[in-house]
A = this chain, B = another copy of it.
Amino acid sequence: MILGVSAEQEELRASVRRFLADRAPIPVVRELMDTTDGFDPAVWRQAGDQLGLQGIAIPEEYGGSGFSFAEQAIVLEELGAALYGGPYLASAVLAAGALLASGDEAARKAYLPGIASGETIATVAFTEEDGSWEPDAVRLAAAELDAGDGWRLDGRKSFVLDGHTANLVLVVARTGAHLALFAVDAGAPGLTRTPLPTLDQTRKLARLDFESVPAVLIGTPEDGAAVLSRVLDVAAIAQGAEQLGGAQRALDMAVEYAKVRYQFGRPIGSFQAIKHRCADLLLEVESLRSAVQYAAAAVAEDSAEVPVVASLVKAYASDVYFHVAGENIQIHGGIGFTWEHDAHLYFKRAKASELFLGDASYHRERLATRIGI
């Protein structure tokens, strides 16, 4: 396992950070969060054309640049720090990951190059109205037509990340006792997509209604659960990387303010009530950074530890980011709870990241199971 941070990785981080500071700084994030789509297609294209971010962890044979998940985690960290609102997690992690995890070479060849270039925006639709993250809860039905006529999907998906802006939706559906993965074109007849107003306006979700929607089976009619399980684990770690980025940024904000805000003739950061809290937060953020680095390396090496570290990281990242984001508001005092100040954007993202893919106690319970308790 390689855990160190190479010079190349540092350069990647710096260039992503520069790109986001330049093309998607917080004022732009604020503008876009009030839109339905939530991102600027031009910036999305640039991210693909200039930096190759969407394809960073996609093998070269599928049009990507073939770096590992360790590099993608760095990208995700920076996106999380910047509260970038584009469909990166949906397309470059969830959908690309599902295609890679599927055994379907034809589907990989068909879809991955578009995802890698950023031309295709893809997402995975698995959660339904009950909001459960368990594969068992999937009810949306897939029915096979007469031989060769393909499949039709009926039912509803909800909480679909960027579901209304994706042009390719990978749907987890029930084929009798099993689950399978299907590709659905965004313009397919019978598909209705409804954007949902989100608590965290920088992260867009949609409801998708399927009424006899034509769909292409990916892999076999039985292997959806295994693919989904892998995808959710990787997504948990990817989101952990985003959470790390957000937590680090929120901590930086708090510490910076504590140095310059004077009350009672002293910088507030000289009061132990603030100072010791910041120390605790640093401990947490540093520990999270170690965990995310380890987890990313585990994904990159396809280690058997992935399921365990995925739940560990998701639970810990959720606790840490929310803790930091909440304290950041408190340390800022009055301005910290205004709309104008950025603290609430991180606070909302922190909670939304926790609720998405299952919260901290959900993942602790999974972790207990996965380590055999």
A271 to B276, CA, bound (A): 11
Q: Considering the complex, give the chain B residue whose CB is closest to the CB of A274.
A: B272
Beta-carbon contacts under 8 Å, A99-127 to B = none
Give chain B residues whose Cβ lies under 8 Å from the Cβ of A272: 271-273, 276
Smallest CB separation, A255 vs chain B (Å): 17
1/0 per position for A251-273, CB-CB distance to B under 8 A? 00000000000000000000111
A273 to B271, CA, bound (A): 9
Q: Considering the complex, give the chain B residue whose CB is closest to the CB of A273.
A: B272
Smallest CB separation, A261 vs chain B (Å): 16
Copies in the complex: 2
- Count residues on chain A whose CB falls below 8 Å from chain B CBs: 4
Give chain B residues whose Cβ lies under 8 Å from the Cβ of A273: 272-273, 276
A92 to B273, CA, bound (A): 45
Give chain B residues whose Cβ lies under 8 Å from the Cβ of A276: 272-273
1/0 per position for A269-285, CB-CB distance to B under 8 A? 00111001000000000
Smallest CB separation, A173 vs chain B (Å): 37
Beta-carbon contacts under 8 Å, A20-47 to B = none
Smallest CB separation, A327 vs chain B (Å): 14
Give chain B residues whose Cβ lies under 8 Å from the Cβ of A271: 272
A272 to B279, CA, bound (A): 14
Smallest CB separation, A56 vs chain B (Å): 44
1/0 per position for A287-326, CB-CB distance to B under 8 A? 0000000000000000000000000000000000000000
Smallest CB separation, A103 vs chain B (Å): 46
A271 to B272, CA, bound (A): 7
A89 to B200, CA, bound (A): 54
Smallest CB separation, A101 vs chain B (Å): 40
Smallest CB separation, A267 vs chain B (Å): 14
A273 to B277, CA, bound (A): 10
Smallest CB separation, A304 vs chain B (Å): 34
Smallest CB separation, A274 vs chain B (Å): 8
Smallest CB separation, A244 vs chain B (Å): 27
Smallest CB separation, A273 vs chain B (Å): 4
The 6 closest A-B pairs by CB, nearest first: A272-B272, A272-B273, A273-B276, A271-B272, A273-B273, A272-B276
The contact sample of 6 A-B pairs, CB cut-off 8 A, is: A271-B272, A272-B272, A272-B273, A272-B276, A273-B273, A273-B276
